[in-house]
Amino acid sequence: MLVDDGNDGRATPRAGAVAPRRLTHLRRLEAESIHILREAVAESENPVMLYSVGKDSSVMVHLARKAFHPSVPPFPLLHVDTTWKFRAMYEFRDWTVAELGMELLVHQNPDCLEQAINPFTHGSAVHTHMWKTEGLKQALDLHGFDVAFGGARRDEEKSRAKERIFSLRSAQHRWDPKQQRPELWRVYNVRRNQGETIRVFPLSNWTELDVWQYIYLEQIPVVPLYYAAVRPVVERDGALIMVDDERMPLEPGERPVERRVRFRTLGCYPLTGAIESEADTVQKIIQEMLLATTSERQGRVIDFEASGSMEKKKQEGYF
């Protein structure tokens, strides 16, 4: 266990460490997440961890390794894929799974494959709903998972601020804000009826800053797209979109330009805006973030549509 013992701030694993007077902020969050992971696993029959390849997933997987050490986390990872992620994300995903020795399940909505659903011809709303929301429901039904871990945090969006850590979903995967169970102390009600599932969010109480500080402290690998590099981008509606492969249709006269950019959030490349940045280390990212004034989800095109749109998506079964 890493402790604040007044050593060098950047604690490293050491045998025989002595307990601190008081747990630091990050150690309290870490312990809470581990407690949540263990409780969910102990009371479920067929748990799964949703793996989106982003930094929050990296942190969640790291916490799972800690929670069950020396065992390998006793559940598979599930990637609900859209076929439109950045190439670097697929590479990182496969590398991570090989490192961890965990099982990876990849689900691609067959209806989307058949109809070649994509953000360009179908729009971001249809694309996201079909690939992600419907895809996730299909995958959960297909494997009969009763508990699914997700990396969502309460600080991401206003409607998430009221989300429970253990969030009950109906057999149709719907989220009913009025039927959520009160959550007291660290006593979590993991019981569910036939067909009902529970989404569990071990990072509920982490902020974006906490996640980055923890990545720094624990030296957790993340997709290189978070770090600034020269990449080919086009500017559309004020967003910098990276031309990640040849499927991206260019407008007449539009030409990719090489800009030094990075991503604060990762999703489908045509729907994810880059920011111009020089931050090519975790430290610089945190520094940039502390000085920046734009919130994280702004890079995600899906949140823009209407105030309250995340809440609607959640009721439909989105994460």
What residues from 186 to 245 belong to the interface with other proteins (CB under 8 A)?
Answer: 186-187, 189, 191-193, 196, 204-205, 207, 209-210, 213, 216-217
Cβ closest to other proteins, residue 19 vs residue 230: 19
Cβ closest to other proteins, residue 27 vs residue 173: 27
Q: Which residues pair with 113 in a beta bridge?
A: none
> Least distance (Å) from other proteins to the CB of residue 2?
6
- Which region among 48-56, 88-96, 272-280, 288-296 touches other proteins (by CB under 8 A)? 288-296
> Least distance (Å) from other proteins to the CB of residue 220?
12
**Amino acid identity at 171:** A
> Least distance (Å) from other proteins to the CB of residue 161?
4
What dihedral angle (degrees, nearest 10) is formed by the CA atoms of 139, 142, 146, 150?
Answer: -10
Does the protein bind other proteins through residue 247 (CB under 8 A)?
Answer: no
Residue of the chain from 182, 238, 252, 253 that contacts other proteins (CB under 8 A):
182
Computed on alpha carbons and rounded to an integer, the radius of gyration of the chain in Å comes to 20
In the numeric block, the tokens 């894929």 are attached to 81
Q: How far is Cα 158 from Cα 167, in angstroms, rounded to an integer?
A: 16
> Least distance (Å) from other proteins to the CB of residue 25?
4
Cβ closest to other proteins, residue 31 vs residue 105: 31
Q: Which residues contact 166 (CB under 8 A, 6 or more apart)?
A: 36, 40, 181, 183, 188, 189, 190, 198, 199, 200
Q: How far is Cα 62 from Cα 252, in angstroms, rounded to an integer?
A: 45
79: burial class by Cβ within 10 Å (0-12, 13-18, 19+)? buried
Cβ closest to other proteins, residue 188 vs residue 269: 188
Question: Within positions 33 to 62, which residues make up the interface with other proteins, using CB under 8 A?
Answer: 34-35, 38-39, 41-42
Cβ closest to other proteins, residue 17 vs residue 130: 17
- Report the DSSP pairing between strands 273-276 and 47-50: unpaired
> Least distance (Å) from other proteins to the CB of residue 252?
31
Examine residue 70 and say whether the peptide bond preceding it is cis (omega within 30 degrees of 0): yes
Cβ closest to other proteins, residue 256 vs residue 303: 303
Cβ closest to other proteins, residue 115 vs residue 307: 307
CB atoms within 10 A of CB 221: 13
Please provide residue 124's backbone torsions phi and psi, each rounded to the nearest 5 degrees.
Answer: -70, -35
Question: Within positions 70 to 89, which residues make up the interface with other proteins, using CB under 8 A?
Answer: 70-72
Does the protein bind other proteins through residue 258 (CB under 8 A)?
Answer: no
Does the protein bind other proteins through residue 276 (CB under 8 A)?
Answer: no
> Least distance (Å) from other proteins to the CB of residue 201?
11
Q: Which residues pair with 233 in a beta bridge?
A: 242, 257
**118 contacts 132 by C-beta, under 8 angstroms:** no
> Least distance (Å) from other proteins to the CB of residue 99?
14
> Least distance (Å) from other proteins to the CB of residue 263?
16
- Which region among 87-95, 139-147, 185-193, 249-257 touches other proteins (by CB under 8 A)? 185-193
Q: Which two tokens stand for residue 228?
A: 């600034």
Question: Within positions 138 to 167, which residues make up the interface with other proteins, using CB under 8 A?
Answer: 154-155, 158-159, 161-162
Q: Which two tokens stand for residue 95?
A: 């590398």
Sheet with 147-149: list strands edge to edge.
104-108, 77-81, 47-50, 147-149, 197-200, 166-169
> Least distance (Å) from other proteins to the CB of residue 18?
5
308: left (phi over 0), alpha (psi -120 to 50) or beta: left
The footprint of other proteins on this chain (CB under 8 A) covers a number of residues equal to 80
